[in-house]
Amino acid sequence: MAQWTLIDRQLGKIWSRKRPAPTPALDVVGEQAETVRLSIASMEARLDELKSLSTDFARLVRPMDDFLDRHPQLQARLAEAEAGLQRELQLGRDLRRERDEAAAAALKATDEAAQSAAALARQQALARETEETITELRLALSSQSEAAEALRRKNDDETERSRALADECGALRTQTLTQGQ
């Protein structure tokens, strides 16, 4: 482009020059030949520019053709990647939901364990109290059994003594009756 501008300026200078008064025909032919030569040089420069432009365009077109050829493949890969991303996002949502459910279940289990531990502690305290009561009752039973045994023995002794007294009374009565007759 810069070359065209330069050539156009040179041609403009040549054409804008004041022309000398008519000279012999040979001078006119020389001027015309010079004008033709400059025009050809200008056209040659423009043709070189077109050739360079064509090369530049080919360099631009080749990657674009490659891109257009690969575009459907790239779109397919992009669609696959998007589908994979959607699957991964869904998997992430599912895992977060499962994690939240597991956390809720763990919290519920922890609460139940705490309640069970508290109930166990209450039951253990009640069992200790019951054992103490049972121990006290056993001691009382043992003590009362001993007292009952002592009373039974005393009763047996008293019964024996009563029998002995009754026998003695009977013998005395019999003796008194026999003596009184």
Question: Strand runs (DSSP E) across 15-172, as ranges?
Answer: none
In the chain, the percentage of residues whose pLDDT exceeds 90 is: 32
Rounded CA separation 37/1 (Å): 20
pLDDT at 111 over 70: yes
pLDDT at residue 149, rounded to an integer: 87
pLDDT at residue 87, rounded to an integer: 95
pTM, entire model: 0.39
Q: Are 43 and 5 in contact (CB under 8 A)?
A: no
Query: What length is written for the chain?
Result: 181
Q: Which residue has the higher pLDDT, 7 or 129?
A: 129
- Tell me the per-residue pLDDT of 59-102, one tens digit each, with 9 for 90 and over: 888 888 887 788 888 888 989 999 999 999 999 999 999 999 99
CA distances from 16 to 2, 10, 128 (A): 21, 10, 128
139-145 contacts at long range (C-beta below 8 A, 24 or more positions apart): none
Mean pLDDT of 163-179: 81
pLDDT at residue 101, rounded to an integer: 96
Mean pLDDT of 108-121: 94
pLDDT at residue 122, rounded to an integer: 95
Q: Which residue has the higher pLDDT, 113 or 159?
A: 113
Q: Can you state the angle between helices 25-180 and 2-16, rounded to 10 degrees?
A: 160
- Tell me the per-residue pLDDT of 140-160, one tens digit each, with 9 for 90 and over: 888 888 888 888 888 888 888
pLDDT at residue 80, rounded to an integer: 94
Q: Both ends of the chain: CA-CA distance in Å? A: 183
pLDDT grade for 121, boundaries at 50, 70 and 90? very high
Angle at 34 between CA 31 and CA 40, to 5 degrees: 145
